[in-house]
Amino acid sequence: MDRVQTIIAAQRDRFLAEFCEFLAFRSMKGDAAGLAGAAEWTAARLRQIGAAVQMWATDGPPVVFAEIGQGATRLLSYSHYDVQPPDPLDLWESPPFEATVRDGKLFARGASDDKGDTLARIQAVEVYQQAYGDLPLRLKFFVEGEEEVGSPHLAPLAAQHADLLRADGVLWEGGGFDEAERYTFYCGLKGIAYLELRVRGASHDLHSSFAPMAPNPAWRLVQALNTLKDDRDNITVDGFMAHVRPPTTAELAYIRAIPFDGAAVKANWGIPAFVNAMSDEAALLRFLTQPTCTICGLRSGFIEEGEKTVLPSNALVKLDFRLVPDLTPGLVIKLLRGHLDRRGYSDIEIVPSAGMIGARSDVTAPVVQTAVAAARQVYGHEPVVYPSHGGSGPMYALVQALGSNGIMAGVCYPDVRMHSPNENIRMDDYFQHIEFLVEFMRRFAENN
């Protein structure tokens, strides 16, 4: 056992006790005391390793910013201390804010998302210091308390503190083991534009007998929606696809190397085939590199059990667009408005909601290749690298917007139950992840 493993083994009980203490904070939306307590605890733990800590105020929970180490190489760590609400409580096998170890797993709200990632990185610095001495790079921590509510202050703070946050690489939250126990990285996240389309007709619902002469907002909305996609599921918003950046040769090579069991996915979803009966390879490529236009919900008129002959006075649809480079939420709204207006739908109101720009890092960047090399050594196999993730997050503001590249690395595994009752991580994964982080920091400092 090398010295890093020896140090981690010696600190295992203390590190676990700290983890349980951190997990006890009810740091979720609506619990100001829980959020404040988690922020202060994070700041105090960072000070224990010798980091210089700042608390950046918002009109919500603060961002904990800290910096430690010396040298020319700069590494930014992003994570968050806020968690999802634990509901439904009756499905938890142990109290969600009383960390419990069962069968080698630690159960608590926030264990994987994202207090495990946050604390493992702090503890990894301590292990590094004991094993090798002072940190030979400038490690910056950005730990926010609003990720679970859309990170409304992240982009403004990133712009305000751009010089301080700029780095040679960014270590993002997330990542972990897949179903075949292969360690998995993600190098980006899709953006999102979430919005509503609203159509209004008469001032109140009418008897449906008036349908021959009164406008029906539901029909108008359906007809407008039918112009956004064709029967092959292609997005047909004017000019939309012209802004989609194609994957690079290196990205395609990584995607083709991803083990993807389409049959298992289809069986799990209960569907006979992917859209257009696509092959596994085509489905994975589309999932990772193409934007989406999704009807998330429709509402109009009478939809309860029974009959009610009504002509609705309004209709509403919720849409989300998952965005890839170089689409942005603002551009999507502009393109959609022009598309509808050119077809005579200027009366349809667009009401934007959430919006994030997508991020996709260069898979050949040093931060990515260093993480791959460190994982190869620590986990003993070739990790799987996804050029992007199909989901969305606020990565762009701290990565591409600041001229950097990032990679997602964390402590997840398939049964982690993130956002669900009985959220958990495997304890061995957690401590091995600390070992990975130490090796990653050592290599990143040497190679940059």
**All structural domains of the chain:** 3-187+361-447 (3.40.630.10), 190-238+290-356 (3.30.70.360), 245-289 (no CATH)
- What pLDDT is stored for residue 292 in this prediction? 97
At how many degrees (to 10) do helices 32-48 and 115-132 cross? Answer: 10
216: Cα within 13 Å, side-chain hemisphere:
16
> Which pair of tokens denotes residue 343?
């077809």
Whole-model pTM: value is: 0.91
Q: What sign for the dihedral angle of Cα 425, 418, 14, 177? A: positive
Location of structure tokens 């610095």: 125
Q: CB of 208 within 8 A of CB of 309?
A: yes
**Closest Cα to residue 182, out of 27, 355, 384?**
384
pLDDT in tens, 388-412: 998 888 999 999 999 999 999 999 9
In the chain, which residues have pLDDT < 50? none
- Helix or strand holding residue 366 (H, E): helix 366-379
Distance CA 302, CA 304 (A): 6
> Which pair of tokens denotes residue 437?
């982080």
Give exposure, 183-216, as e/b (b: 16+ Cβ within 10 Å).
bbbbbbbbbbbbbbbbbbbeeebbeeeeeeeeeb
Q: What angle do CA 406, 52, 174 make, to 5 degrees?
A: 30
Distance CA 61, CA 101 (A): 29
- Helix or strand holding residue 121 (H, E): helix 115-132
- What pLDDT is stored for residue 1 in this prediction? 52
